[in-house]
């Protein structure tokens, strides 16, 4: 009897210890997210032409260049978050693909192909600025919602995603880890739920950003413009993934925006 009691205790301790171990393995702290995100940012910037660093874009929108506009919109939206632990940065990569992505911890990149798709350099860039704010708001919420860390946790629980093991020693594993994060972020491997969450969060941010002249309608307009491009030139489109479908995202965003606009102004 006593022996079996001791055995039960030992078994209990083993289970408790293994659970603690798993909790440590699965969860990725904010500082770890910032660390791996900064490593991935270094890698992407090493391989890319960054506007304002390697290539000067003409100052043709109100006397400013597109990279300055991107940075200003991003900074304005982040100011609406209030105090937060993230290290946001907003940079433009010279690349014809239609894409934008966030790395864990805060670095956010927009491709010139996306800026062109949104016609940022047109004569009346107000609508383009709104749509770009929609994209940046969406990416900001991928960071604040810790969507990469959650996906990482799920993959670990399923025994997948071992190429992005954290805390791995040695240059090879670290390189693998960075490659895994970049592949995840650039190819938009978020879950359907997280895409919806980012659309919703982006709409809310733009609504809060009315003082900067933003309009949450920008999210709907941006999804419509990008949906058209993905039909006309599907090869150039990276930002829109198949799940959830853009038609569903547009319907959902339209409803959210009209609900918000029906609320009395504070």
> Which stretch in 107-115, 119-127, 196-204, 243-251 sits in contact with Zn ion by CB under 5 A?
196-204
Contacts of 197 (CB under 8 A, 6+ apart): 141, 145, 147
Beta-sheet strands, E only, within 36-173: 89-93, 100-102, 107-111
Among positions 112-151, residues that touch Zn ion (CB under 5 A) are: none
The size of the interface with Zn ion (CB under 5 A), counted in residues, is 2
Return the residue matching tokens 């991003």: 74
What distance in Å separates the CA atoms of residue 173 and residue 258, rounded to the nearest whole number?
48
We find the least distance from the C-beta atom of residue 259 to Zn ion, in angstroms, to be 21
Of the two residues 125 and 216, which places its CB atom closer to Zn ion in the complex? 216
Query: Contact region for Zn ion (CB under 5 A) — 18-26, 65-73, 178-186, 194-202?
Result: 194-202
Q: Strand, coil or helix: what is 68? A: helix
Q: How far is the CB of 188 from Zn ion (least distance, A)?
A: 6
Residues 50-109 that bind Zn ion (CB under 5 A): none
Output the smallest distance, CB 141 to Zn ion, in A: 8
Using the minimum distance from each CB to Zn ion, give the nearer residue, 214 or 239: 239
Considering beta carbons, is residue 127 or 195 the nearer one to Zn ion?
195
Smaller CB distance to Zn ion: residue 194 or 215? 194
Contact yes or no for 148/194 (Cβ under 8 A): no
Q: Which is nearer to Zn ion, 195 or 215 (CB)?
A: 195
- Residues 18 and 22: their CA atoms lie apart, in Å, by 6
Burial class, 63, CB count within 10 angstroms (exposed 0-12 / middle 13-18 / buried 19+): exposed
Residue 143 beta carbon to Zn ion: minimum distance, rounded to whole angstroms: 11
Which residues, including other chains, have CB under 8 Å from residue 117's CB and lie 6 or more apart?
Answer: 98, 225, 226, 229
Judged by CB under 5 A, the stretch of 15-23, 77-85, 116-124, 198-206 that binds Zn ion is: 198-206
Stretch that binds Zn ion, among 1-9, 70-78, 114-122, 193-201 (CB under 5 A): 193-201
**Contact 110/92 with Cβ under 8 angstroms?**
yes
CB-nearer residue toward Zn ion: 228 or 243: 243
Distance CA(202)–CA(196), nearest Å, equals 10
* CB nearer Zn ion, residue 65 or residue 198: 198
Q: Are 206 and 153 in contact (CB under 8 A)?
A: no
Q: Minimum Å distance from CB 254 to Zn ion?
A: 18
Least distance to Zn ion, CB of residue 193, Å: 11
**DSSP type of residue 44:** H
Q: Give the residues lining the site for Zn ion (CB under 5 A).
A: 195, 198
């Amino acid at each position: 009897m006593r022996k079996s009691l001791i055995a039960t205790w030992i078994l209990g301790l083993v289970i408790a210890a293994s659970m603690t171990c798993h909790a440590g393995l699965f969860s990725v702290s904010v500082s770890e997210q910032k660390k791996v995100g900064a490593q991935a940012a270094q890698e992407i910037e090493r391989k890319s032409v960054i506007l304002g660093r390697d290539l000067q874009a003409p100052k043709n929108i109100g006397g400013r260049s597109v990279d300055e506009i991107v940075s200003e919109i991003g900074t304005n939206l982040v100011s609406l978050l209030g105090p937060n632990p993230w290290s946001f940065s907003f940079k433009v990569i010279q690349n014809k693909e239609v894409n934008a992505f966030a790395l864990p911890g805060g670095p956010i990149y927009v491709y010139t192909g996306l800026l062109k798709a949104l016609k940022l350099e047109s004569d009346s860039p107000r609508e383009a600025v709104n749509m770009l704010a929609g994209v940046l708001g969406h990416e900001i919420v991928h960071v604040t919602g810790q969507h990469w860390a959650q996906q990482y946790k799920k993959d670990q629980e399923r025994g997948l995603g071992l190429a992005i093991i954290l805390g791995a020693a040695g240059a090879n594993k670290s390189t693998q880890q960075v490659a895994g994060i970049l592949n995840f972020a650039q190819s938009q491997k978020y879950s359907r739920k997280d895409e919806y969450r980012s659309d919703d969060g982006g709409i809310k941010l733009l609504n809060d950003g009315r003082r900067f002249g933003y309009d949450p309608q920008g999210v709907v307009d941006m999804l419509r413009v990008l949906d058209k491009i993905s039909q006309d030139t599907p090869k150039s489109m990276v930002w829109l993934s198949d799940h959830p479908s853009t038609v569903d995202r547009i319907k959902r965003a339209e409803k959210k925006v009209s609900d918000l606009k029906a609320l009395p102004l504070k």
